[in-house]
Amino acid sequence: MIQETTMRVGGARRVYRSSLRTRVSRIFGRAASHIVLLAGAAVFAIPFVWMVSTSLKTDRQIFAWPPVWVPNPIVWGNYPAVFDYAPLHRYFLNTMVIATAQVFGAIITCSLAAYAFSRVRAPGRDVIFTIMISQMMIPGVVTLVPLYILFAKLDWINTFLPLTIPAMLGSPFYIFMLRQFFLTLPMELEEAALIDGASRLRVWWTIIMPLSKPAIATVAIFSFMFAWNDFTGPLIFLNSRTKFTLSLGLQAFMFERRTLWGPLMAASTLMITPIMVVFFLAQKHFIQGIALTGMKA
Amino acid sequence: MTVKHPRRRLRLATREALTCYLFLLPWAIGFLAFVLGPILASLVLSFMRYDVVTAPRLIGISNFRDMFVTDKRFMMSMGNTAYYVLLYVPLHLLVALGLALLLNQKVRGMPVYRTLFYIPSIVPIVAASILWVWILQPEWGLINSLLGLVGIKGPLWLASLTWSKPSLILMALWGSGSAMIICLAGLQGVPQHLYEAAEIDGADRWDRFRHVTLPMLSPTLFFMLVLGVIGSFQVFTTAYVMTGGGPAESTLFYMLYLYRRAFVFLDMGYAAAMAWILFVVVLTLTLVQFRLANRWVYYEAEQR
C-alpha cells in the first residue's frame, strides 16, 4: 500500500516537473518562432514599404542618408508626374483588353477540354492527355522564333492577336487544374441529365460550370495575372507605343529615365495595386490554385 | 432487340467520342498551330540562314558549328545561365521549404505571416525589377544605406562583375512565395499519425524531419525541382530590365543572347538553333531527374 502511494506521488511529481519544463520550453519556442517569423516577414515586406515611401518623397529625401522611412512632407506629385513620361492610362487599357480576352477565352476552352478529359470517353483520349501533360514541360523559347515569323506572315505583329488568340485556345496548366477539380464532382446529377437526353454541351454549361465556380475563379485569376505580368510576349510582338502594355510601358519608362526614382516607384506602386486588390479579394483561390498544380505528383 | 442493342451502344459510343474530340478541338488547334508546328519549324530553321527580309537559305550545320567553335558569347551565355541555375534552384528549394516549415507551426497570427511571405511572388516582374534596381542602387539604395549605417561599404551589386548574378538571384528568391505555398500544402498533407508513431519510437525533431517529413514531401520537392530547372534556364526578364546583360556581359543569359540574335540582329536561323540546343539540354536534364527520382522520391502508393 505505502509503496504504491509513494510511487504514485513520485510519478505525479515527475509528470508535474516535466510538464513545467515542456511548458517553459514551449513558451521559449513560441517566442523564438515569433522572432524568426517577424524578422523574415520584415525582410519580405521592406521592399514594398520602401517603394511606397520613395513614391511619396521629395527628391531631397529620396537621396537622403541615413535613409528616411516616413516621408516628411508627404508629396503626391510623383503620381501625376508619371503620366507626363508614360501614358499609363493607355497602357492600362491595352493590358485590360488583352487580359479580359485571355481570361474569358481560357475559361471556355479550358473547361471544355477539362470536361472531355475527365468525363467524356473516346479512343486515344489518354494518349492525348499525356501529350498535353508533356506540353507543360516544353520550354516556351523553342517556339518563339517560328511564332514571330508566323505572326509576321499573318500580319499580326503590333496587334493584340499574338497575345490573345493562342492563350484563348487553352493552356495545359489550366486544363489540368480544372480536370483535377472536375474529377472530384459527383456523377449523379450529370448522369440523370444525360439519361433525360441532355447533350454533353448542355451538361457542361448547366451542371459542371455552376458546380465549379471556385476552380473557374482560380483559372480566371491565374490567367489574369499572367496577362497582367507578361513581358516577353508584348516585348516581341508589339512595337508602337500606343499598343504597349503596362509591363512594356513601365520598362520603357525605366529605360529612358533611370534616375527619376520618385515617379518610377509611383508607377510601380500603381502597377502592383490592382494585383494586390485581386489578391485580397480572392485569397483563397490563389492558395487553392497553387495547391492544385502542386498536387500533380 | 438483341441485334439492335449493340448497334445502338456503338452509335452512342461514337457520338460520345466525337463530342470528346470536339471539346478538345480548341486546345488541339492551339497546340498544333502554336506549339508543335513551331517546334518543328524551329528545327528546320536551325539549319538555315534567315533574316525575315530575304528568302531563307539552307546552310547545313554551320549555325551549330559557329556556336561551339567561333561564337564566344554563346559559351559565355551558357556559363552565366548554368551559374544562375546551379545557385538559384537549390536556394529556391531551401528557402521555400524553410519558409513552409516556419509557417506550418501553430502560432497566433499565422495567416498574416503567410500573406506577407506570399505577396512578393505575385508582384509583376517588371515592377519588381524596377523596385530592386532602386533597392540595390549602390549609392542611395536601401541595402547599401543600411549597410552604411553599420559601417560596411556595400558592393556595387548590379554594376559589379562578381555581384551582378547573385543580385538577380537574391531578387528572384524574394518571390519564393508560391513555391512556399506548394511546400506548405505538401506539409499539411503528411498524416499526423506518422509523426505520432515516430515519437513513440523515440524519434527527436530532426529524426522526424529526416525520416517522416522529407520522404513524404519528396514528390512535391521533385515537382518543384523539375519545374525550377526548366524555368530558370529561361531567365530573361529580370536581366533584360535590370542589367541589359551587363556589366561586361556578366548577366548575358542564354535567353537574352538568343533574343538579341533573333530580334536585334534578325538572325532567326541562329536563334532557332540556340533554342533547340536549350531544348535538348533542358529535356536531358529533366529525363535525368526522372531517372534519378526513384532513388530519393518516395511515393506512398508503391508501398501499399
Minimal Cβ distance to A47: which of B135, B146, B222: B135
Nearest to B27 among A63, A113, A286 (CB): A113
Alpha-carbon span B93 to B274, nearest angstrom: 28
Q: Report the pLDDT value the prediction gives residue A126, as an integer from 0 to 100.
A: 93
The answer to whether A139 contacts B278, with C-beta atoms less than 8 Å apart, is yes
Q: How far apart are CA A96 and CA A275, in angstroms?
A: 12
Is residue B55 situated within a structural domain?
Answer: no
The average pLDDT across B128-135 equals 94
Residues B176, B223: one domain? yes
- A215 contacts A179 by C-beta, under 8 angstroms: no
Give the pLDDT of residue A6.
Answer: 34
Q: Are B133 and B172 in contact (CB under 8 A)?
A: no
| Of A181, A165, A183, the residue nearest A217 (C-alpha) | A181
**How far is the alpha carbon of A149 from chain B, nearest alpha carbon, in Å?**
7
Which DSSP letter does residue A296 get? T
Q: How far is A70 from chain B (nearest CA, A)?
A: 14
pLDDT of residue B270: 96
Instruction: Tell me the average pLDDT of chain B.
Output: 90
Same domain membership, residue B75 and residue B18: no
At B57, phi and psi to the nearest 5? -130, 135
- Which amino acid, one-letter code, is at B123? V
Q: State the residue range of the domain holding B247.
A: 62-303
Nearest to A268 among B52, B130, B236 (CB): B130
Lookup: cell for A77: 506629385
C-beta atoms of A137 and B230 within 8 A: yes
Bridge partners of residue B58, in order along the sequence: B48
Contact status, residue B168 vs residue B235, Cβ threshold 8 Å: yes
CA distance A184 to chain B (A): 17
Q: B49 φ, ψ to 5°? A: -110, 125
Q: What is the pLDDT of residue A11?
A: 42
Q: Indicate yes or no: CB of B35 within 8 angstroms of CB of A143.
A: yes
Alpha helix (H) residue ranges in chain B? 4-31, 37-45, 62-69, 72-103, 110-118, 125-135, 142-149, 164-174, 177-188, 192-200, 205-208, 214-232, 237-242, 254-259, 268-296, 300-303
Cα dihedral value A65, B153, B85, B48, nearest 10 = 80
Closest Cα of chain A to B23: distance in Å? 5
Quote the number of domains for chain B. 2
Instruction: Note whether A232 contacts B37, CB cutoff 8 Å.
Output: no
Whether residue A85 lies within 8 A of chain B, CB to CB, comes out as no
A66-90: per-residue pLDDT in tens? Answer: 888 889 889 999 999 999 888 999 9
Q: Please give the ipTM for the structure prediction.
A: 0.88
Residue in the block written with cell 499539411:
B188
Q: How many CB pairs under 8 A join A and B?
A: 261
For residue A13, what pLDDT is reported? 46
Please indicate, yes or no, whether residues B28 and B139 belong to a single structural domain of this protein.
no
Q: Which residue, B201, B227, B251, B272, is CA-closest to B76?
A: B251
Domain boundaries, chain A: 2-62, 80-294
Q: What's the rounded Cα separation, in Å, for the pair A56 and B77?
A: 39
The stretch A6-21 carries a mean pLDDT of 50
Helices (H) and strands (E) in chain A, counts: 16, 0
Kindly provide the residue ranges of all beta strands, DSSP E only, lying in chain A, ordered along the sequence. none
Q: Is residue B122 part of a domain?
A: yes
Q: Confirm whether B10 is domain-assigned.
A: yes
pLDDT of B32-65, one tens digit each?
A: 999 999 999 999 999 999 998 889 999 999 999 9
Which candidate, B29, B33, B63, places its Cα nearest to that of B45?
Answer: B63
Question: Which CATH number does the domain housing residue B233 bear?
Answer: 1.10.3720.10
Let me know whether B20 and B109 are in one domain.
Answer: no
B193-204 burial code (b ≥16 CB/10 A, e <16)? eeeeebeeeebe
Q: How many CB atoms lie within 10 A of CB B23?
A: 24
Q: Quick one: cell of A35?
A: 522572432
pLDDT for residue A115 is more than 50: yes
B41 and B118: one domain? no
- Out of A223-237, B1-15, B147-161, B198-212, pick the least confident: B1-15
Rounded to the nearest 10°, the torsion over CA A53, A57, A59, A62 is -30
B52: in domain: no
User: Do B250 and B110 have their domain in common?
Assistant: yes
B144 and B98 within one domain? yes
A contacts of B151 (beta carbons < 8 Å): none
* DSSP code, position A240: S
Model's pTM, two decimal places?
0.88
Question: In Å, how far are A42, A194, B134, B295 from A53, measured between CA atoms?
Answer: 15, 59, 12, 50
- Partners of A52 on chain B (C-beta within 8 Å) are none
Q: How far is A185 from chain B (nearest CA, A)?
A: 18
Q: Is the per-residue pLDDT at A205 higher than 80?
A: yes
Nearest by CB to A294, from B41, B127, B182: name it. B182
Residues B144 and B264 in one domain: yes
- Which residues make Cβ contacts (< 8 Å) with residue A127, sequence separation at least 6? none
- Residue A215 to residue B196: CA distance in whole angstroms: 34
Residues of B in contact with A148 (CB under 8 A): 262-263, 268
Indicate whether B112 and B18 sit together in one domain: no
Q: Looking at the predicted structure, is the pLDDT value of residue A292 above 70?
A: no
Q: How confident is the model at residue B2 (pLDDT cuts 50, 70, 90)?
A: very low
> Is B223's CB within 8 Å of A264's CB?
no
> Do the domain assignments include residue B54?
no
* A288 at B interface, C-beta within 8 A: no
CA dist B52 and B56 (Å) reads: 8
Q: How far is CA B245 from CA A152, A164, B158, B254, in A?
A: 27, 29, 10, 10
Q: Is B48 helix (H, G, I), strand (E, B) or coil?
A: strand
Q: Show contacts of A258-261: CB within 8 Å, 24+ apart.
A: A258/B133, A260/A81, A260/A85, A261/A54, A261/A62, A261/B134
B92 and B172: one domain? Answer: yes
DSSP-based three-state secondary structure for A65: coil
Residue B285: inside a domain: yes
Mean pLDDT, range B92-115, rounded to an integer: 89
Nearest-CA distance from A2 to chain B in Å? 31
Shared domain for B176 and B99, answered yes or no, is yes
Beta carbons of B60 and B184 less than 8 angstroms apart:
no
**Cβ(B192)–Cβ(B213) below 8 Å:** no
Exposure string of A137-167, with b = 16+ CB inside 10 Å and e = fewer, is ebbbbbbbbbbbbbbeeeebeeebbbbbbbb
Q: Does residue B101 contact residue A253 with C-beta atoms inside 8 Å?
A: no
**B57, part of any domain:** no
Bridge-partner residues for B57, per DSSP?
A: B49
Question: Are residues B92 and B209 part of one domain?
Answer: yes
**Beta bridge partner(s), residue B49:** B57
- CB neighbours of B36 closer than 8 A, spacing ≥ 6? none
Of the candidate CATH numbers 1.10.3720.10, 3.40.50.620, 1.10.599.10, 1.10.10.60, the domain formed by A80-294 belongs to 1.10.3720.10
pLDDT higher than 50, residue A2:
no
Q: Decide if pLDDT at B171 tops 90.
A: yes
